[in-house]
A and B are shown apart, each in its own frame.
Chain A
């Protein structure tokens, strides 16, 4: 259907791998039963085994024990549970102060805003112009009332990686829980809970060629957290509801299929794209950090033009990207990430995000560069800006 499509919006959703579908299939048609207790019937025991194996596989990718990983419906639910669950457990006992950054993705940002309206105090720790957290400001911001620090591993738009080890150590030293949203970093940059002092990690299958609608939350043993949905006792009594076993199996398969070699290949394509765009098109700038960034992410602002126009022109040529322009968003608001790192509306207006995945081919990079060059040139010809 989209035969010649060049898809560069892998941060939003990835094409699922056929091998993932093959792994999932038996759990729709053969082993479709609920995961029963160990005293249940055979088909239920097989379902239980599949779920346990999937859990163990994903947990080990984080260096965690199986019982420290629970399945959810995706990163939105995981981050809601992490933040609101800790607030429920500690809000009355320890305090009502939470620390995060102004550039988090919406599940984190809007969860803390909801708590803010209920009387919690939130500190948005400063980030520099590349999006990196000011560690001194973080340290100063922690008070005896602080119950949670939630800082992402990698940014969804500009790809900036945080020093989660340093952040975790500060939190550990001050006795505060640390949650990180690793939706975009999981499997693309190493995260090992035996080395990094982190208590809660949000992950999702949709960014690594797994199925949509399945994600997970790492919960370090002993972390004070309460469930936020009521129902049965599934997922170690943290997340009620019938288990999504095909999803869990698909997620585990997706984890298994990501290799460091593949990530290196994505990075080479990304590097070539960035090098050519920044060198060959004047008045462009990189958004995010030049070194501490996701290997598969490029984010560039083109001055004097608007992102939705560029996006539509690229779409007409069969290239799919994303933009931080206000015109493109449902709320007509410019990217809070670009504004959050001190950029103005103009920079957000002309920002384009390119994110690579398994199905991108090396030769696509040059096709995209040539297309962007032509379109930017044409849109600048129309633009009243940048001519004097």
Chain B
């Protein structure tokens, strides 16, 4: 039986492009943490006039799909303007890699998130952000579209696992429609917390299971 990874994934895993740090980066972002498993860092050099990404590098502490997605995302973003690069989706990255195994989606989403976070970081540093977006129920729902249901490889919003979202006084409460002893309950809980707890107006993230 062949490996569950496409040849393109394996090629990027073996020879990842644009690996390393940019010491005088104009912006950078790290997504994930050693505690939750995978981690991706993205560094950007941006032309101040045209806002074109002139150089991009990444680092990965993760599995094959994490490394390969980090690699492909740097190739996709290089030479694009910030506005264009911001629109790169996980789906595009996955297609460019010839597909990713469903179970591995959550490891690969991190790289896409890190690219976006690095761009936002640049925009914040260079006064390109008009207003800081408050964390609303709608915002939380949007973020949860990046949390995967590993059983099917689709996000937890689309697979209707999110039963309830509540945002009150900086406390975000998310109720999932799965039992607490579900095999992926701890993974999803960590993922959700990771996606929201660093928000400027979020004090606490509570994930509950009501399945």
Contact = CB atoms under 8 A, between A and B. Distances in A.
Chain B associates with chain A? yes
Interface in A247-278: none
A304 B59 CA distance: 11
B202 interface: no
A361 interface: no
A316 interface: yes
Nearest to A303: B34
B61 A305 contact: yes
Given A332-B150, A382-B16, A384-B41, A325 B34 contact: no
Contact of B61 (A316, A328, A383): A383
Interface string A268-309: 000000000000000000000000000000000000111011
Interface residues of A, number: 26
Query: Most chain-A CB neighbours within 10 Å: which of B34, B107, B183, B186?
Result: B34
B59 A327 contact: no
A382 B60 contact: yes
Nearest to A326: B37
Given A309-B67, A332-B106, A381-B19, A327 B38 contact: yes
Interface string B118-161: 00000000000000000000000000000000100000000000
B58 to A, nearest CB: 8
Contact of A327 (B13, B21, B62): B62
A302 to B, nearest CB: 11
A331 B64 contact: no
Sorting the interface of chain B by its residue count into under 10, 10 to 19, 20 to 34 or 35 or more gives 20 to 34
B177 to A, nearest CB: 19
Interface of B is mostly: mixed
Interface string B1-38: 00100000000011010011100000000100011111
A1 interface: no
Interface in A11-59: none
B61 A304 contact: yes
Given A326-B187, A382-B59, A346 B13 contact: no
A2 B188 CA distance: 38
A374 interface: no
B19 A384 contact: no
A8 B187 CA distance: 29
A163 B67 CA distance: 43
A344 interface: yes
A328 B37 CA distance: 11
Interface in A51-97: none
A84 B186 CA distance: 28
A345 B13 contact: no
Nearest to A325: B63
A346 B35 contact: yes
B39 interface: yes
Contacts of A383: 59-61
B199 to A, nearest CB: 22
A95 B166 CA distance: 45
Contacts of A330: 103
A333 interface: yes
A348 to B, nearest CB: 9
Contacts of B183: 331, 333
Interface string A143-162: 00000000000000000000
Contacts of B14: 316
A184 interface: no
17 contacts: A305-B61, A308-B64, A309-B13, A309-B62, A309-B63, A312-B3, A325-B63, A327-B104, A344-B35, A345-B34, A345-B36, A346-B35, A349-B37, A384-B30, A384-B41, A385-B34, A385-B39
* 9 closest A-B pairs by CB: A384-B59, A327-B63, A308-B63, A384-B41, A346-B34, A331-B183, A383-B61, A332-B187, A306-B62
Given A309-B13, A384-B60, 11 more contacts: A304-B61, A306-B62, A309-B67, A328-B63, A330-B103, A333-B183, A344-B35, A346-B34, A383-B59, A384-B59, A385-B61
